[in-house]
Amino acid sequence: MFDAREFVLSFFFLSFFLSFFIQMTRLDEWAKYYEKKYPKVGRLVVE
């Protein structure tokens, strides 16, 4: 059965779900945003 409420909410949910997936490929722009706004302190090293 088609449910309009389910359809709309699923669209919102999927939008956010997919946007998190896509943003993993756009980390450069995210880094640019932080670089413009906040001072750098150092580097992170994962051991």
Partner 1 sequence: MDLISSLGLVSLTIFLIFMLNWISGPSSRRKAEKPNESGPGESTDSGAAAANPTPTPDRIFTLEELARYDGTHDDGAVEMPCYLSVKGVVYDVSIGREHYGPNGGYSVFAAKDASVVSLLLLLLLLLFFPNGSSSFAASTVDFKMMVQLNFFFLSFPCRRSESPRLILLTVTGITVPSILAR
Contact residues toward partner 1 (CB under 8 A) are 2-3, 5-7, 9-24, 26-31, 33-35, 38-47
Instruction: In angstroms, give the least distance from the CB of 32 to partner 1.
Output: 9
Contact 4, 10 (CB under 8 A): no
CB of 25 to partner 1, least distance (A): 10
Could you give the CA distance from residue 44 to residue 42 in angstroms, rounded to a whole number? 7
- State which amino acid sits at residue 28: D
**Smallest distance from the beta carbon of 5 to partner 1, in angstroms?**
7
